[in-house]
């Protein structure tokens, strides 16, 4: 690994330091400017890595704030991958980065057994011992993974197809959101399929420092994406982190893998907005339903980092039955698996405190957010159900009351 | 995604936020698109209106304003509009319970002179209570207090330099270092770290204890900007009352605690006005037909991430530092509309006196009296684009101490003009 991004665009203005949620939570972190572009100059000289690099959560708020377009978090992740080649990451770090590999390995165990494994206090003590905090929120495995269940759905008579990149969260823990998307796209006249070779987007692997594994996944995904793009089949994602990785990040991490043709993958909400604009998706029926939904929306950091606005908010505003307000209170703190880690748990809770308070005082009974782990963190901290915006859109369009577990 | 709005403001610095608020106040639907968080959070939060004229510090900015060259943004707007802009801005701050004020002298609004960590005095106009320096100039005994681990402020240097100024010939300065309230830190402590700590109950009690030990012995205690992270000034007045001593913040280097307080205030107001924010959006494509901008877009790898249709656009993208103007070794460019930037008047590179005004600071786009961009012959180039803030040329914020003053004046007026052009009733 010898990619170094140019640190000299940084003017040391400290805007990123102001907006870094981790730097606010702990003075043990050198902060984005110092650990990113400033320390990069030391790295170029071969000077030993600063230990506090481990605190970067890769939440991207530094990049959102930077007026000079310095890829601060990407510099940090490249440095972490280089560091992990010298010092192999721990067993715990392997586990939290390889959710997909684990889930595949455990495929033939029933969900209840797996979930007992992640919720029994004895198991939590054991996990805590290896470094996964005993109080951190843990997702439940679904009975059947989304990708296993999808072929069983009858999707006949659709002339158009759309390829869906489900990501690990929807696939293993939250297939319901996937089915809501399938239902919505069926309404718009699209058959939805998941190409069998799609693998984890690699963002947890990057954050964990597993460069080779991330590269392997990227190579596979790029091959599938290139084939789909060549066939002019639209590809969509409903997870902001997956889409951030597949559209913006891979070119920075693995420029040598990038094909000549542009790789395109659309945001699910944005795609549905287009369907409404073209008339493919008729939302008139929604105006006759009486599913009153009142929710507060949290924009995931990895969505804000994409710089394409907040399409979910836009989409939800089409439905008179949905009263939505924006939380606008920054990062939830979880940053994928960051908040699971024993030594980061308190930081993650402290980062999210402002958001939790905003949600609690909003009086809204429901939280909407595209990101699976954001929802996990928010639901645990606020005791309010948290759902994907697509679930609300389906409920409003179908006139079907929400059932939230 | 595509969006439609009455007014699109590009940029979220002081000019952009002011423009957005003034357009919203006039009934417009407003979207703010920004790339980066703007310069507010690295500033002191002071609104410098006009601190120097022809390199001389001035007390009455309004008097000096009438003498500025006709191409200066203040001259284009006229003093009355500048005054109106500031009034409107102050009204917003008052509504948010922010404690900004302007010093008075002989019944006139005048500049304040604010001490900095380097022991210099800087003129500014609209300032928060925490920077009220009125007592400093009559104080007999002044304490400059630093904090252990806060390397930005050397109390000894600050006190030494202040003591050299003729204003303080009768004043005695002493210094101290408060013990750090942050136990172990891996990084150098900043004022922001301390301000955030002081915002907590333990931090407040730490500060009260530290100040309490000296309050009786001094008329004024100068501290770095650590008095909390809210612009309400509540903590400042509480401390002053409790300690019977005038605690005052020094101006310092970024991160800018005062600027963060102001930014939060403006953004809170914007949220209440239902202004929508689009972050990390690099607007780099403009579709113009004739003199009318049809839409702008953020394009990446030939793909449009976002397309924005706005009746009117306020371009508040900043100058060279903020990313609104782009420099090559021999010229300055504006990249979105490719507006002409008049060539730098004078030597582009090094000047012999590095501390003197430099022509590059005057560089920027030319506008007419309605803040629409014009070419060298003063022909209007775009009919629905209005400029605000640092991308406008013809003034030198560093030399004049007029940065945020111009940002707010042009921001407010650009917002009014955009609202007007969008068919809203706006009086200006």
Q: Tell me what percent of the residues of chain B surpass a pLDDT of 90.
A: 86
Residues B53 and B86 in one domain: yes
Return the number of other C-beta atoms located less than 10 Å from residue B350's C-beta.
Answer: 8
Please answer yes or no on whether A69 and B39 come within 8 Å at the CB atom.
Answer: no
Residues B398 and B305 in one domain: yes
CA torsion sign for B377, B378, B379, B380 is positive
pLDDT of residue B329: 79
pLDDT of residue B184: 80
Contacts of A23 in chain B (CB under 8 A): 187
Residues B287 and B202 in one domain: no
Residues B292 and B145 in one domain: no
Q: What does pLDDT average to over chain A?
A: 93
Residues B78 and B155 in one domain: no
DSSP A121-159: HHHHHHHHHHTB-TTS--PPPPSS-HHHHGGGS---S-S
CA torsion sign for B33, B36, B41, B42 is negative
On whether any CB of chain A is under 8 Å from the CB of B39, the answer is yes
Q: Among B191, B224, B251, where does a domain finish?
A: B251
Stretch A229-248: mean pLDDT, rounded?
96
Contacts of B307 in chain A (CB under 8 A): none
Residues B214 and B363 in one domain: no
Instruction: Render pLDDT for A347-389 as a digit per residue (tens, 0 to 9).
Output: 999 999 999 999 999 999 999 999 999 999 999 999 999 999 9
Residues B146 and B44 in one domain: no
Distance CA A143, CA A168 (A): 15
Please answer yes or no on whether A309 and B254 come within 8 Å at the CB atom.
Answer: no
Q: In this structure, what token pair is assigned to residue B36?
A: 């980066």
Please answer yes or no on whether B271 and A328 come within 8 Å at the CB atom.
Answer: yes
Stretch A89-93: mean pLDDT, rounded?
94
Mutate to test the interface with A, among B5, B10, B31, B37 (most CBs of A within 10 A): B37
Closest chain A residue by Cα to residue B182: A27
Q: Could you give phi then psi for residue A150, rounded to 5 degrees?
A: -55, -45
Return the number of other C-beta atoms located less than 10 Å from residue A371's C-beta.
Answer: 28
* pLDDT at residue A47 is higher than 60: yes
Please answer yes or no on whether A27 and B189 come within 8 Å at the CB atom.
Answer: yes
Q: pLDDT confidence of A288, banded at 50, 70, 90?
A: low
Please compute, for residue A341, the number of CA atoms within 13 A of its CA located in the half-sphere on the CB side: 24
Q: Among B221, B251, B281, where does a domain finish?
A: B251
Q: Tell me what percent of the residues of chain B surpass a pLDDT of 70.
A: 98
Q: Which of B416, B414, B397, B422 is nearest to B52 (CA)?
A: B397
Distance CA A300, CA A312 (A): 11
Please answer yes or no on whether A29 and B187 come within 8 Å at the CB atom.
Answer: yes
Contacts of A17 in chain B (CB under 8 A): 190, 192, 255
Pairing relationship of beta strands B285-289 and B121-124 according to DSSP bridges: unpaired
What separation in angstroms does the CA of B82 have from each of B304, B331, B367, B406?
A: 38, 31, 16, 8
Residue B79 burial by Cβ neighbours in a 10 Å radius (0-12, 13-18, 19+)? middle
Instruction: Render pLDDT for B381-425 as a digit per residue (tens, 0 to 9).
Output: 999 999 999 999 999 999 999 999 999 999 999 999 999 987 765
Contacts of B1 in chain A (CB under 8 A): 267, 270, 273, 308-309, 311, 314
Contacts of A307 in chain B (CB under 8 A): 35, 278-282, 298, 300, 305-306
Stretch A255-264: mean pLDDT, rounded?
90
Q: What does pLDDT average to over chain B?
A: 94
Contacts of A311 in chain B (CB under 8 A): 1
pLDDT of residue A295: 96
List the 275-294 stretch of B: residues with Cβ below 8 A of A.
Answer: 277-282
Query: Rounded to the nearest 10 degrees, how much is the dihedral formed by the CA atoms of B102, B103, B109, B113?
Result: -100
Residues B130 and B161 in one domain: yes
Q: What is the CATH number of domain A280-398?
A: 3.40.50
List the 273-332 stretch of A: residues with Cβ below 8 A of B.
Answer: 273, 277, 304-311, 314, 328
Instruction: Render pLDDT for B325-375 as a digit per residue (tens, 0 to 9).
Output: 998 877 889 999 999 998 877 766 677 777 778 888 899 999 999 999 999
Distance CA A56, CA A40 (A): 14
Mutate to test the interface with B, among A67, A300, A353 (most CBs of B within 10 A): A67
What Rg, from alpha-carbon coordinates, does chain A have?
21
On whether any CB of chain B is under 8 Å from the CB of A29, the answer is yes
Q: Which of A87, A187, A247 is nearest to A390 (CA)?
A: A187
* pLDDT at residue B203 is higher than 70: yes
Count structural domains, chain B: 2
H-state helical runs in A231-259:
240-243, 250-253
pLDDT of residue A262: 85
Residues B84 and B180 in one domain: no
Pairing relationship of beta strands B172-178 and B326-328 according to DSSP bridges: unpaired
Domain encompassing residue B412: 2-95+262-421
On whether any CB of chain A is under 8 Å from the CB of B326, the answer is no
Stretch A213-242: mean pLDDT, rounded?
97
Distance CA A329, CA A346 (A): 18
Q: Where are the domains of chain A?
A: 7-86, 280-398
Distance CA A376, CA A351 (A): 15
Residues B279 and B415 in one domain: yes
| CATH code for the domain in which residue B177 is found | 3.40.50
* pLDDT at residue A290 is higher than 80: no
Q: Among B227, B251, B275, where does a domain finish?
A: B251
Stretch B9-34: mean pLDDT, rounded?
97
Report if residue B84 sits inside a domain.
Answer: yes
Distance CA A18, CA A30 (A): 13
Residues B206 and B285 in one domain: no
Residues B139 and B229 in one domain: yes
Q: Which neighbouring-strand residues pair with B293? A: B288
pLDDT of residue B334: 95
Distance CA A137, CA A339 (A): 9
On whether any CB of chain A is under 8 Å from the CB of B306, the answer is yes
Please answer yes or no on whether B254 and A13 come within 8 Å at the CB atom.
Answer: yes
Distance CA B19, CA B226 (A): 29
């Amino acid at each position: 690994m010898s990619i170094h991004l140019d640190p000299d665009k940084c003017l040391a203005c400290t805007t990123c330091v102001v907006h870094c949620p981790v730097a606010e939570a702990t003075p043990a972190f050198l902060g984005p400017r110092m650990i990113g572009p400033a320390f990069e100059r030391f790295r170029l000289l071969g000077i030993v890595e600063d230990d506090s690099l481990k605190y970067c959560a890769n939440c991207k708020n530094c990049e959102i704030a930077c007026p000079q377009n310095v890829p601060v978090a990407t510099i940090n992740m490249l440095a972490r991958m280089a560091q992990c080649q010298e010092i192999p990451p721990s067993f715990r770090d392997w586990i939290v980065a390889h959710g997909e590999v684990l889930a595949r390995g455990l495929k033939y165990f029933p969900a209840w057994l797996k979930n007992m494994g992640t919720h029994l206090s004895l198991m939590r003590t054991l996990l805590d011992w290896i470094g996964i905090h005993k109080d951190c929120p843990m997702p439940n495995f679904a009975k059947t993974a989304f990708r296993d269940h999808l072929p069983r759905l009858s999707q006949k008579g659709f002339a158009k197809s759309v390829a869906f990149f489900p990501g690990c969260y929807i696939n293993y823990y939250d297939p319901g959101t996937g089915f809501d998307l399938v239902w919505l796209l069926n309404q718009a006249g699209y058959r939805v399929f998941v190409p069998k070779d799609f693998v984890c987007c690699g963002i947890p692997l990057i954050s964990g420092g597993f460069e080779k594994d991330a590269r392997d996944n990227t190579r596979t995904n790029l091959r599938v994406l290139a084939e789909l793009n060549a066939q002019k089949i639209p590809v969509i994602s409903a997870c902001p982190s997956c889409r951030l990785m597949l559209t913006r990040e891979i070119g920075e991490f693995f420029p040598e893998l990038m094909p000549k043709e542009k790789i395109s993958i659309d945001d699910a909400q944005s795609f549905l907005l287009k369907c409404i604009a073209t008339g493919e998706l008729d939302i008139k029926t929604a105006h006759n339903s009486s599913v009153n939904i009142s929710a507060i929306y949290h924009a995931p950091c990895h969505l804000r980092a994409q710089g394409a606005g907040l399409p979910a908010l836009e989409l939800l505003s089409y439905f008179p039955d949905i009263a939505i307000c924006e939380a606008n209170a920054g990062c939830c703190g979880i940053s994928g698996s960051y908040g699971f880690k024993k030594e980061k748990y308190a930081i993650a809770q402290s980062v999210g405190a402002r958001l939790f308070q905003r949600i609690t005082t909003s009086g809204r009974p429901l939280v909407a957010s595209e990101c699976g782990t954001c929802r996990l963190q928010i639901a645990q901290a606020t005791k309010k159900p948290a759902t994907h915006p697509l679930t609300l859109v389906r409920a409003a369009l179908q006139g079907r009351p929400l059932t939230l577990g | 995604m595509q969006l439609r709005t009455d007014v699109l403001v590009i940029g979220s610095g002081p000019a952009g936020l002011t423009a957005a608020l003034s357009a919203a106040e006039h009934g417009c639907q407003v979207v703010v698109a920004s790339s980066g968080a703007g310069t507010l959070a690295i500033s002191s939060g002071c609104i410098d209106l006009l601190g120097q004229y022809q390199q001389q510090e001035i007390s009455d900015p309004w008097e000096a304003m009438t003498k500025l060259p006709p191409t200066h943004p203040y001259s284009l707007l006229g003093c009355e509009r500048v005054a109106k802009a500031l009034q409107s801005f102050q009204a917003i701050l008052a509504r948010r319970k922010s404690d900004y004020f302007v010093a008075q002298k002989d019944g006139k609004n005048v500049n304040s002179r604010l001490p900095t960590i380097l022991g210099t005095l800087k003129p500014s106009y609209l300032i928060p209570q925490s920077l009220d320096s009125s007592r400093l100039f009559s104080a007999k005994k002044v304490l400059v207090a630093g904090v252990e681990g806060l390397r930005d402020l050397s109390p000894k240097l600050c006190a030494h330099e202040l003591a050299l100024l003729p204003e303080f010939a009768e004043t005695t300065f002493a210094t101290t270092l408060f013990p750090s309230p942050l136990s172990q830190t891996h990084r150098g402590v900043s004022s922001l770290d301390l301000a955030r700590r002081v915002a907590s109950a333990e931090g407040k009690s730490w500060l009260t204890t530290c100040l309490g030990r000296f309050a009786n012995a001094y008329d004024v205690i100068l501290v770095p900007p650590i008095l909390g992270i809210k612009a309400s000034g509540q903590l400042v007045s509480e401390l002053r009352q409790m300690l019977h001593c005038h605690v005052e913040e020094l101006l310092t280097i970024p991160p800018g605690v005062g600027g963060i307080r102001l930014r939060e205030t403006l953004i809170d107001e914007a949220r209440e006005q239902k202004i929508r924010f689009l972050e990390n959006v690099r607007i780099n494509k403009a579709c113009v037909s004739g003199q009318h901008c049809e839409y702008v877009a953020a394009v990446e790898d030939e793909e449009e991430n976002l397309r924005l249709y706005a009746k009117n656009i306020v371009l508040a993208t900043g100058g060279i530092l903020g990313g609104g103007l782009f420099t090559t070794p021999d010229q300055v460019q504006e990249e979105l509309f490719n507006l002409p930037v008049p060539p730098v008047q004078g030597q582009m590179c090094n000047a012999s006196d590095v501390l003197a005004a430099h022509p590059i600071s005057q560089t920027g786009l030319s506008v007419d009296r309605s803040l629409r961009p014009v070419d060298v012959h003063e022909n209007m180039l775009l009919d629905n684009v209005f400029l605000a803030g640092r991308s406008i040329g013809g003034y030198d914020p560093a030399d004049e101490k007029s940065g945020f003053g111009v940002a707010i004046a042009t921001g407010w007026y650009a917002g009014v003009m955009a609202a007007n052009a969008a068919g809203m009733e706006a009086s200006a």
